[in-house]
């Protein structure tokens, strides 16, 4: 006969497995096999296990986490559901915002009673799947396109820049899926960003600056990816305005925030200044969150340089 101490030890071991390294959800039958009927009843009664969906339990310690909810949805879906969109991105890299709902897809012929915290789309589901933190999901490129579909229009571009910046998918793979997927809102805009990366733009900040911020007739005088000589050394500027002798650099935190990177940027700016160029730098978040401020600031610098030179 199993003693209460033995049941407690089994429960502790079980909860440890359900919590780490990945969140796990189990059925009642799986839990009874691990800790017995009385152990399961006791764990539920004392709040160690929580029922999130029919016959689907998670550890109470992680029940509020998105990972636990994702695991519960997959267990509930019995192999007919895959995670997608913002849920996959958050599981992959928690710097992406945690969505309010679990985003998932199921085959067209499947029908589920959907709880309010699940966002499920029915569509044709391909034969290929992936796994992120132990959870089954659509291929990452499809997840990004689904995240684009679900995002607010003013957040879509920033989302894709973040994905490509962090190299979660390649631009070419994302472009193939975006071009062939059905019902992609603003498809041309998405493909334009992807094509910018494929064409060789060096950073998400530069792609955003070139295709979203400094566009239109007012900025035709900007030249992109220009080789300059400063202190006898060849430098490639993100953009230049030759008339005002202004260099424009677009900095992403991933490449410009380290002490060594800051030192190199300052050295580069000083060498170009010695040759008569002034450098203006814009960060990725400024380009994304306040593009008009960036446009106004650069226009003022260009105007002041021309005014000073009497041109």
Contacts of 73 (CB under 8 A, 6+ apart): 53, 81, 83, 102, 104, 118
**pLDDT at position 83:** 96
Q: Mean pLDDT of successive 10-residue segments in the chain (311 residues)?
A: 74 90 93 91 93 95 95 91 96 94 85 88 77 93 96 89 86 94 92 80 74 90 89 86 94 60 84 91 89 96 78 50
Q: Which CATH number fits domain 210-309: 3.40.960.10, 1.10.10.10, 3.40.50.620, 3.50.50.60?
A: 3.40.960.10
Euclidean distance between CA atoms 272 and 234, whole angstroms: 10
**pLDDT at position 126:** 67
**pLDDT at position 258:** 61
Euclidean distance between CA atoms 7 and 13, whole angstroms: 10
**pLDDT at position 256:** 42
Could you tell me the CA-to-CA distances from 208 to 3, 63, 287 in Å, in that order? 64, 38, 7
């Amino acid at each position: 006969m199993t003693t209460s101490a033995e049941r407690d030890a089994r429960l502790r071991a079980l909860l440890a497995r359900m919590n780490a390294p990945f969140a796990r959800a189990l059925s009642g039958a799986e839990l009874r096999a691990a800790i017995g009927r009385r152990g399961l009843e006791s764990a539920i009664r004392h709040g160690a296990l929580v029922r999130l969906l029919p016959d689907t339990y998670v550890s109470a310690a992680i029940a509020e986490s998105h990972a636990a909810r994702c695991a519960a949805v997959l267990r509930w879906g019995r192999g007919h559901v895959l995670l997608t969109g913002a849920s996959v991105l958050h599981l992959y890299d928690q710097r992406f915002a945690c969505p309010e709902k679990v985003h998932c897809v199921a085959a067209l012929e499947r029908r589920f009673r959907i709880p309010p915290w699940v966002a499920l789309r029915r569509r044709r589901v391909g034969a290929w799947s992936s796994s992120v933190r132990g959870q089954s999901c659509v291929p990452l490129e499809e997840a990004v396109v689904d995240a684009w579909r679900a995002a607010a229009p003013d957040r879509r571009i920033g989302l894709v820049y973040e994905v490509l910046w962090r190299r979660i998918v390649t631009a070419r793979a994302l472009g193939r899926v975006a071009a062939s997927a059905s019902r992609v809102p603003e498809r041309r805009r998405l493909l334009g960003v992807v094509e910018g990366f494929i064409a060789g733009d060096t950073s998400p900040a530069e792609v955003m600056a070139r295709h979203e911020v400094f566009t239109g007739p007012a900025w035709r005088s900007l030249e992109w990816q220009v080789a300059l000589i400063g202190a006898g050394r060849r430098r490639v500027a993100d953009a230049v305005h030759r008339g005002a002798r202004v260099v424009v650099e677009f900095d992403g935190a991933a490449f410009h925030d380290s002490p060594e990177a800051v030192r190199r940027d300052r050295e580069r700016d000083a060498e170009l200044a010695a040759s008569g160029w002034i450098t203006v730098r814009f960060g990725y978040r400024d380009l994304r969150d306040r593009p008009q401020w960036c446009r106004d600031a650069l226009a003022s610098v260009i105007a002041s340089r021309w005014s000073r030179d009497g041109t």
